[in-house]
Copies of this chain bind each other. A is one copy, B any other.
Amino acid sequence: MAIRSSEQYRAGLRDGRRVVYRGQRVKDVLEEPELRLAVEHSALCYDLAETRPDLAVDVEGGEKFSAFYHVPRSVEDLTRRGSLIEACAAAGSGTIVLKEVGSDALFALLRATEGEGAEKARAYFDRVRSQDLALAVAQTDVKGDRALPPHRQADPDLYLHVVDEDAESITVRGAKVHTSFSANADEIVVLPTRAMGSEDRDYAVSFAVPVDTPGLTLYVSPYSAGERDSFEFPVSSRHKLLESLTVFDDVRVPRERVFLDRVPELAGPLAIAFVDYHRFTAVNYKLPLLDALVGAAHLIAELNGISRAGHVREKLTSLIAYAETVRGLGQLAALRSRPGDRGVQQPDPLAVNMAKYAFAHGFHDAVAKVMDLAGGLLVTGPGGEDWANPDVRPVLEKYFTAAGPAEERLRVLNLIADLTARDFGGYQAVLATHAEGSLEAEKMQIARSYDPAEAIAYARRLARLDD
């Protein structure tokens, strides 16, 4: 079928998957209103085939495929993928939608697996592309004591590992955290979380399983649970991301779905390959969020009547420089990209990590500046129920008029509150620090991606050391 509609995507989620939400087993994710919201959010990336076919659809041999599954083989491919991700995130009001993460994992598998594993990865990729499946990626293990490697944990299950095998399958046990989209994806791709030594052999495993595989349970986080009024929460009332603790309780995985079967030396390269693509995704999907902050900051400065003050102009410029530095370095990551193993194009790791670092490092300050421009009404203003009440609204209209009408001002304030101050804003702030690798991880990758030899040689020359 090659390309699916969002309706087909939704229908595909009705299976025996075991999902626990707010302490209860959920029978059907389409029937639970909050999980349904997450499904509707992710459905946007299927809708994109209709709304932005120029970016979202590949035509090959007369057949249509999702461009998310277009393996990048050139600077142009990666640049186009960047645009696709940005457009998708724009539809998603500044958040990742769904297919980005699975395709990142597939490119990593195509590039960083070897031998039989690489063949299986290729076959799996072809199936995902031709069926237009939605994949979640479970990478981060629960990790236990972070000072210890997997095989030395008190409980061996604190990293996911192979506990049994037979001719047709391996059996795995353990748990992954921060699994985005798990409950509304078709399948889950498991990747190793880090480099591993020979004693961690059983932990060096990568595979994919359908979400309804026996033994697999998704404990979806209730963060930011509850219904949202659309006046008060213009973004989070329409968009939701879900994350789960993803428990593999002796899950059998057929051998044709195992891409890395206890090969510790490939665990690190595969983990890093994914992270390269995923950070490239990140610096593109964050752009609409940054644009929203820049735009909202300009709007509220205007509506509050302060847009001419020196410190306001300074803050607006600083927000522009922040957003455009992330955009610029992200663009550079594509422009400087080079073919990696098996011809899969690799974003420039230095540029992509600098872009991600610039994003993460500057986010809290940007939020502080936007809050500063917006004012205290972010947390003391009226709500949707007030606005809806015909006796109350005129009072609000009278008293919240400033350099623009009260309604515009309140709606922009609510947008800013949603993006920065309320639960959803906190979610964004934590994501900025931790998603797709922490600040410390990005710093480490910057140091690793940079070869200081030339700079050292130049400094030696200037110091007249090698005269």
Contact = CB atoms under 8 A, between A and B. Distances in A.
A414 B458 CA distance: 15
A385 interface: yes
B295 A455 contact: yes
A221 B294 CA distance: 26
A458 B292 contact: yes
Contacts of A411: 463-465
Interface stretch (A116-124, A201-209, A308-316): A308-316
A443 interface: yes
Given A320-B450, A332-B331, A230 B464 contact: yes
A403 to B, nearest CB: 5
Contacts of A440: 311, 372
Interface in A5-49: 20, 22-24
Interface in A57-80: none
A395 interface: yes
Interface stretch (A97-105, A186-194, A264-272, A415-423): A415-423
B385 A23 contact: yes
A457 B295 contact: yes
Interface in A435-464: 435, 438-440, 443-444, 446-447, 450, 452, 454-460, 462-464
Contacts of A225: 383
Contacts of A403: 144-147
B452 A146 contact: no
Nearest to A314: B311
Contacts of A382: 219, 221-222, 245
A458 B288 contact: yes
Contact of A415 (B144, B427, B429, B459): B459
Secondary structure of the A side of the interface? helix
A327 to B, nearest CB: 10
Nearest to A232: B222
Interface stretch (A164-172, A251-259, A298-306): A298-306
Given A219-B386, A314-B310, A383-B222, A433 B372 contact: yes
A149 interface: no
A380 B245 CA distance: 8
Interface string A206-232: 000000000001010111111000101
Interface in A275-329: 288, 291-292, 294-296, 298-299, 304-306, 308-311, 313-314, 316-318, 320-321, 323-325, 328-329
Contacts of A3: none
Given A325-B329, A465-B411, A455 B380 contact: no
Interface stretch (A130-138, A338-346, A349-357): A349-357
Nearest to A20: B392
B443 A317 contact: yes
Contacts of A412: 459, 463, 465
B395 A219 contact: yes
A296 B459 contact: yes
A147 B305 CA distance: 6
Nearest to A450: B320
A455 to B, nearest CB: 3
A63 to B, nearest CB: 34
Given A314-B314, A408-B465, A421-B429, A243 B380 contact: yes
Given A142-B399, A430-B421, A291 B450 contact: no
A53 interface: no
Contacts of A162: none
- The 6 A-B residue pairs whose C-beta atoms are closest, nearest first, are A310-B310, A295-B459, A421-B426, A23-B385, A295-B455, A222-B383
14 contacts: A145-B305, A158-B401, A175-B395, A221-B383, A223-B381, A234-B464, A245-B382, A292-B458, A317-B446, A328-B328, A331-B336, A335-B335, A376-B431, A423-B426
